Structure 1
Amino acid sequence: MAKFDWRKHFNPVLTHLTDAGQSGWAETLTTQLTRRFDENPHGDMERWQSALDSLPAIPGAIADLNQPAVTLSHPDALDAETRASLESGLRGLMPWRKGPFDFFGTVIDTEWRSDWKWERVAPHLSDLRGRTILDVGCGSGYHCWRMAGSGARRVIGIDPGLLFMFQFLAAKQYSGPVPVDLLPVRMEDLPTDMECFDTTFSMGVLYHRRSPLDHLLELKGTLKRGGELVLETLVVEGPEGYSLMPEDRYGQMRNVWFLPSCPTLIRWLERTGFRNPRVVDVSDTTTDEQRKTDWMRFNSLADFLDPNDPSRTIEGYPGPKRATIIAEKP
């Protein structure tokens, strides 16, 4: 099998960054992608590339980004052979965690009902029309597509997971000229204080950071003056100043560091220089929103909760509660 041609997929966004005055970022990113794909490729790259390459060409596809499932369709029904080839290729990219997606009638019921999160967050956002957006920790890009459906001028998602990238490319090849890209890099790989985005999303990332305040400062550095931060993270009940640090795992996740109370999180945002931070939603995560499916067959939330008290994790901590906070950069 030929080596993964990352330039074919990423040259358009590299050109966009250069044209947008971010030539330094484009040069750094080119070096990072060369190392990632040419010098130290992931062991599963060949399998994922084979699945992506097996997806059938479907000219004339239509993308509808304003439905609960990111929907790709065609005016004509697909024949049985094309449908079978499509599903086989998509299943080669399992597990699918963030979604849902509808590929020409093949519905991918992902582990997370990410559309529920979007429905909670979207009513509180500034008008996204014409805005440039960064989505940090975007997974396979579900929310990036929804942001584009809301009229964003350009959406760039970042997530180091290469399986997420291949899942994104599966949708990208059928989406037409939608201005959405996913870069397989980490937050710390971005230039500092680039100040080039109107809105930055960080959803489900903060509790994975050993230094949450540094993460907030990194996020602030991505925003233009007056830009909007949308932060969603795990929280716990408690007064200002309280934050839970698990002894080891939280809900079987190893890399969970700080779960603050909402008043503590507001104080963190104030101390890192954000203006007008406000909690717009607090919701318990349920086994209806995160669960095992035919497209994600590994353990999920039900396996991570105390079977005798589902309001607590299997380790005895308060069950997952998520807050969304919006703030501005002065």
Structure 2
Amino acid sequence: MHKNRITIKQKLEAKNIASLRHKIASMPKDKYNITIDDIIKIESSDIEYKEDIINLAYELKPWRKGPFQIFDNLINSEWNSSIKYNIIKNHLNINNKIVADIGCNNGYYMFRMLELNPKKIIGFDPSAHCFCQFDFINHFIDSKIKFEMLGIQDLTHYDIKFDTILCLGVLYHRTNPIDCLKILKQALNLNGELILDCLIIDSIKPIALSPLSYAKMKNVYFIPSISALRNWLERANFKDIEIIATKKTNLNEQRKTEWINGESLESFLDKNNPAKTIEGYQAPKRIYLKAKG
């Protein structure tokens, strides 16, 4: 009966998002010097609006992905996303191709991919907060990147197919990972390529962990072994599966900073044994791979 009722909290969040978007749109459209590297830097000699712009960046907390630097101020995001990007960068063959980033957050990876000269980049993320952060950064960069407030399930009805799809840190948040892989496969053009990043558990068996909570995350449903993940991909009709890298997440990559609210990796691990999560599972380890559609 009350399923579709908008709560007071949702109304306040919507009002706050609308206010932030208005502030972003009101920022000056001066020329900025942009450097796209491990730290995406935005610089300007005009000091008139700097304080207002930095204050707006703080209003847009928490910053999960980055880092970005606005003038002399480093937005030291929770994740040093340059580490992940540099793992996959040399495996991105996207010159003059149509690219999707599923679960794109604030667009850090999309901005980094501009250097590889894609034909088009479209990001998908249903978070209004992430959209605001993207709008904020893109106000300065003024790229042609498109941000869709849609989820992975919406690819089924999307009117564009892709040559390359990035799906980074998404699959283990889905209740049916094989169906999600099938959706990604269907969204690829012929011989298109998937770049996937997923949490894994160490086992030679084709099994998956299904925790109620993992590293204090309630929305982690299945963490596969490598062989299980291969099986999922094959069931979704992917081929030519190639492992790029496996890597344990450490405190250089994910950590608490002044730009987030709440806890980060250090609080998610067992204080007496950081090789385990606080729940007693194997600490976060990821696989990076690519597969042909």
Equivalent residues in 2 for 1:141-180, closer than 5 Å: 141-176=107-142, 178-180=143-145
- Using the TM superposition, give the Cα deviation of residue 188 of structure 1 relative to its aligned residue in structure 2, in angstroms: 1.3
- 2:38 alignment partner, one of 53, 68, 73: 68
Equivalent residues in 2 for 1:22-61, closer than 5 Å: 43-55=12-24, 56-61=27-32
The residue matched to 2:178 in structure 1 has which SS? helix
Equivalent residues in 2 for 1:288-299, closer than 5 Å: 288-299=252-263
Q: Which residue of the partner structure matches residue 196 of structure 1?
A: 161
- Using the TM superposition, give the Cα deviation of residue 193 of structure 1 relative to its aligned residue in structure 2, in angstroms: 8.0
- Cα deviation, 1:206-228, whole Å, max 9, x if unaligned, reads 00011110010010011000000
CA distance in 2, matches of 1:198, 1:242: 30
Residues 48 and 166 in structure 1, CA contact (< 8 A), matched pair in contact too: yes
Residues 54 and 85 in structure 1, CA contact (< 8 A), matched pair in contact too: no
Residues 139 and 164 in structure 1, CA contact (< 8 A), matched pair in contact too: yes
Residues 206 and 215 in structure 1, CA contact (< 8 A), matched pair in contact too: yes
Q: Which residue of the partner structure matches residue 193 of structure 2?
A: 228
Residues 153 and 179 in structure 1, CA contact (< 8 A), matched pair in contact too: no
Q: Which residue of the partner structure matches residue 114 of structure 1?
A: 81
Q: Which residue of the partner structure matches residue 212 of structure 1?
A: 177
Residues 242 and 260 in structure 1, CA contact (< 8 A), matched pair in contact too: yes
Distance 1:200 1:120, change over 3 A: same
CA distance in 1, matches of 2:160, 2:288: 22
The residue matched to 1:174 in structure 2 has which SS? helix
- Using the TM superposition, give the Cα deviation of residue 263 of structure 1 relative to its aligned residue in structure 2, in angstroms: 1.6
- Using the TM superposition, give the Cα deviation of residue 175 of structure 1 relative to its aligned residue in structure 2, in angstroms: 1.3
- Cα deviation, 1:221-255, whole Å, max 9, x if unaligned, reads 11000000001010010114121111x10000001
Q: Which residue of the partner structure matches residue 78 of structure 1?
A: 46
Residues 21 and 132 in structure 2, CA contact (< 8 A), matched pair in contact too: yes
The aligned amino acid for 1:197 is F
Residues 105 and 130 in structure 2, CA contact (< 8 A), matched pair in contact too: yes
The residue matched to 1:98 in structure 2 has which SS? coil
- 2:219 alignment partner, one of 255, 278, 285: 255
Q: Does 1:131 align with 2:101?
A: no
Residues 228 and 326 in structure 1, CA contact (< 8 A), matched pair in contact too: yes
The normalised TM-score by structure 2 is 0.91
Stretches of structure 1 that go unaligned for 5 or more consecutive residues are 1-40
CA distance in 1, matches of 2:242, 2:227: 10
The aligned amino acid for 1:198 is D
Stretches of structure 2 that go unaligned for 5 or more consecutive residues are 1-9
Q: Does 1:245 align with 2:210?
A: yes
- Cα deviation, 1:274-293, whole Å, max 9, x if unaligned, reads 11111111000011211111
The normalised TM-score by structure 1 is 0.82
Q: Which residue of the partner structure matches residue 14 of structure 1?
A: none
Higher relative contact order (CA 8 A, sep 6+): 2
Residues 206 and 226 in structure 2, CA contact (< 8 A), matched pair in contact too: no
The residue matched to 2:240 in structure 1 has which SS? strand
The residue matched to 1:224 in structure 2 has which SS? strand
Residues 173 and 221 in structure 2, CA contact (< 8 A), matched pair in contact too: yes
Equivalent residues in 2 for 1:251-330, closer than 5 Å: 251-329=215-293
CA distance in 1, matches of 2:256, 2:85: 20
Q: Which residue of the partner structure matches residue 5 of structure 2?
A: none
